[in-house]
Amino acid sequence: MQNGQENAFEPALTLDSSRPGPATFDAWIFHNIASVPLADARTDAELAHGFIYQNAFSLATQRYVAKELARFLMWLHGERRRGIRQINQEDLEQYKDFLISPPPYLVSPLKRPRFIIGADGVQTRNPEWRPFAGPLKESSRRQAIVVIKSFLKYAQKVGYSDCNPAAAVKTVQPARKARIERLLSRETIDRIETRTEATSKLRARLKFMFHAYAATGARLSELVSANMSSLYPEVDDHGVRRWFINVLGKGSKGRPLPATHLLGAYDAYLAAFGLSRPVPSDIPLLLSTRKDLQRISPQAAHDAMKKLFAAARCAALDHDRPDLANELKDATTHWLRHSFATKLANAPGVPLSLVQMALGHASPASTAIYVHAGKHQLHNVPEEQAQLNLLGAPTIAAIDALKASPAFRDVRRQRLEESEVKQSMDASDDEE
């Protein structure tokens, strides 16, 4: 940017003057997502609000899309000095290169809040905040371009722009691995558990968090957004009292996860915070240690788990176990989900549909990648039976019936709308 690099992340004036409206664009107002659709956007910012709202994204996806659109429009207005109506294919190719190496004045390795609240309660922009923590990974760049392409397609669809230059821009589709590799061995998980002895609020919460994520396969955001009332008992047909955690996954769809085995860590966690069962229903499930009875933020939960993995890695090195330390080098909370899913999917007698339900996957294809044993088991099946299982009418008929169902069409439509914007929310916890 030519002038004032210290303020270079401030979006510049929008060049489009074909419609009346504000002359300036504030990319960072996206933290307040519009609550009503904007049918007649006058500015690029209003268009972005309409795009986010009308697609009915989940809250986590709203935040992700808002972040990517804010970065893009900041660059488009400030660096290219253009608006959405003036954009061309070359601009988009330039943005791809920009994401590979953002300029230093837009980068800060230290994560700062976007806004700060003064003593008078007024919220202002944090001058130390920067939009990038560094160059984006290949997967993050791909997802960013997917968001931009979907946004520009929407701009043309609603008549905001005459053409969609993104239609000519290719998004590289990385080869999908045949199996999940980001998982932790049972021994490594056991080692981590020894680092969670509950001696304080922080430790008690960390122990419960670790047990909950490792034993349920929940996504990070699903437990962070849950309340104490999400944990509840039920009596089964045999009169046995069992506990469950009800979490909200993609599309705000709830699913119950078994939690009876978490009660010991849960009660110790409650006691550390001066609570006991039954807990008021409106109290968050995962509490902040800094603010009384306030919800922990997703970033704080992510950071706490990362510190746990780092401590376990140091312990593994101290005990001459470089193999375990290597497993933990890049581990995140999401790896516990992968580990849970892999163990469940390869357990004898567990149908794939049950694994799909536990993970909250809309498509069985997302669940199938966790099955690792199938290729070896085929060697033990007679050739005729293998052909029947792989190519026979029952499999084809089942697939045809699934595709013909209204539920499948609804799921497919939702996945096309949301998954095209963000390739997989399953992986979002690991990005950046």
Nearest to 154 by CA among 72, 51, 36: 51
Q: How far is CA 364 from the centre of its chain?
A: 19
Q: What is the pLDDT of residue 69?
A: 92
Over the stretch 103-130, which tens digit does the pLDDT of each residue have?
888 888 887 877 788 888 888 888 888 8
Q: What is the pLDDT of residue 50?
A: 87
Query: Residue ranges of the domains in the chain?
Result: 5-168, 186-382
Q: How confident is the model at residue 39 (pLDDT cuts 50, 70, 90)?
A: low
Both tokens of 254, joined, read: 């709830």
Over the stretch 145-187, which tens digit does the pLDDT of each residue have?
989 999 999 998 888 888 888 888 877 555 555 444 566 666 6
Average pLDDT, the chain: 75
Q: Which CATH class is domain 186-382?
A: mainly alpha
User: pTM here?
Assistant: 0.58
Q: What is the pLDDT of residue 347?
A: 82
Q: How confident is the model at residue 269 (pLDDT cuts 50, 70, 90)?
A: very high
Q: What is the pLDDT of residue 173?
A: 59
Q: How confident is the model at residue 342 (pLDDT cuts 50, 70, 90)?
A: confident
* Beta bridge partner(s), residue 124: 116
Strands (E), 95-208: 115-117, 123-125
CA distance 224 to 233: 20
Q: What is the pLDDT of residue 174?
A: 57
Q: Is the pLDDT of residue 285 over 80?
A: yes
Q: Is the pLDDT of residue 394 over 80?
A: no
**Percent of the chain beyond pLDDT 70?**
70
Q: What is the pLDDT of residue 338?
A: 87
Q: Cβ neighbours of residue 279 under 8 Å, at least 6 residues apart?
A: 228, 270
HEC profile of 262-325: HHHHHHHHHHHCCCCCCCCCCCECCECCCCCCCECCHHHHHHHHHHHHHHHHHHHHHCCCHHHH
